[in-house]
């Protein structure tokens, strides 16, 4: 793949393009053994050996994006009717062909990981891995201690006659609507909505606030996203 040195190094998480430009000027970047002070130079990641501060930099083909998914957009790469989360990405990021890890409903907001790392996506979605997902939910009716107990014991999803794994329901405020946090370890279709339905309640607002070690970045407005930090990427990859 051919791309600018600053972009290539920034993509690997070494620093911002501005920092890399300065570092290149200082002589910290070499390509095939020659110091390159102009970080806008195009290199070929397949054949050129790029070193930063004496260390070979392996080009990372994976990108990891954290989006605050807005309502009204579907968690897909393509759709005939609706706008997709991938359409909200810059052309630069779409180049890497990322896809959303799992689905949030069209009317659900919040944390969505978008990546082209298929192995990581597979691991995070695997039912065997039991990755915690926490949602902030507003529901139409009062939430009771009995509901907390029922979620803890597991709810039967009638369509597939499946009993959910123990889920944690924390009441923030009980009323009309009620506000709560729900943590589940799996991701059945419309799971949170169906769990509340089975205790005669109805989700009126749903937002995912965490998935495994990843937390929603409250600085991101709905529809905005950012690249994961190196620390966040490592926390995810360590799960493997």
Interaction site with ligand URA (CB under 6 A): 104-105, 108, 190-193, 206
Cα separation values, 116 from 106, 224, 232, Å: 21, 18, 16
- Using alpha carbons, list the distances in angstroms from residue 118 to 33, 51, 233, 234: 33, 27, 14, 16
Tell me if the bond preceding 112 is cis, omega within 30° of 0: no
Query: Is 46 a catalytic site residue?
Result: no
Minimum CB distance to ligand URA, residue 125 (Å) = 13
Q: Which is nearer to ligand URA, 51 or 179 (CB)?
A: 179
Q: How far apart are CA 36 and CA 25, in angstroms?
A: 8
Residue nearer to ligand URA on the CB measure, 83 or 227: 83
Q: Output the smallest distance, CB 219 to ligand URA, in A.
A: 22
Our CB check for ligand URA shows the closer of 97 and 170 to be: 170
CB atoms under 10 Å from CB of 101, counted, come to: 23
Give least dist CB 196 to ligand URA, A: 8
> The tokens of 131 are what?
């990755």
Report the b/e string of 169-184 with b at 16+ CB within 10 A. bebeebeebbbbebbb
Residue from 66, 76, 67, 139 nearest 105 by CA: 76
CB of 10 or CB of 182, closer to ligand URA: 182
Q: Which of 79, 105, 132, 217 is catalytic?
A: 105
What is the smallest separation between the CB atom of 122 and ligand URA, expressed in angstroms?
Answer: 19
Rounded CA-CA distance 79/85 in Å is 10
- For 146, the token pair is 């009995």
Count of all residues that appear for the chain in the document:
240
Nearer to ligand URA, 184 or 228 (CB): 184
Structure tokens at 53: 């501060």
Q: How far is the CB of 239 from ligand URA (least distance, A)?
A: 20
* Alpha-carbon span 231 to 180, nearest angstrom: 29
Residues marked as catalytic: 105
């Amino acid at each position: 793949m051919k791309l600018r040195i600053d972009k290539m190094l920034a993509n690997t998480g070494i620093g911002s393009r501005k920092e890399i430009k300065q570092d290149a000027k200082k002589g910290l970047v070499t390509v095939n053994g020659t110091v390159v002070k102009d970080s806008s130079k195009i290199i070929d990641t397949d054949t050129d050996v790029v070193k930063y501060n004496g260390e070979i930099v392996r080009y990372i083909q994976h990108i990891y994006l954290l989006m605050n998914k807005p309502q009204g957009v579907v968690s897909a790469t393509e759709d005939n009717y609706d706008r997709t989360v991938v359409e909200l990405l810059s052309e630069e990021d779409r180049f890497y062909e990322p896809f959303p890890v799992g689905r949030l409903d069209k009317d659900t907001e919040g944390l969505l990981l978008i990546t082209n790392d298929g192995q990581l996506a597979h691991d995070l979605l695997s039912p065997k891995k039991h990755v915690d997902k926490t949602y902030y939910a507003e529901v139409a009716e009062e939430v009771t201690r009995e509901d907390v107990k029922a979620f803890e014991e597991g709810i039967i999803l009638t369509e597939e006659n499946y009993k959910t794994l123990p889920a944690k329901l924390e009441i923030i405020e009980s009323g009309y609507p009620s506000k709560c946090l729900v943590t589940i370890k799996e991701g059945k279709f419309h799971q949170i909505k169906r769990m509340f339905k089975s205790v005669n309640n109805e989700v009126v607002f749903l937002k995912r606030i965490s998935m495994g070690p990843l937390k929603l970045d409250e600085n991101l407005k709905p529809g905005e996203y950012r690249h994961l930090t190196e620390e966040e990427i490592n926390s995810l990859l360590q799960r493997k």
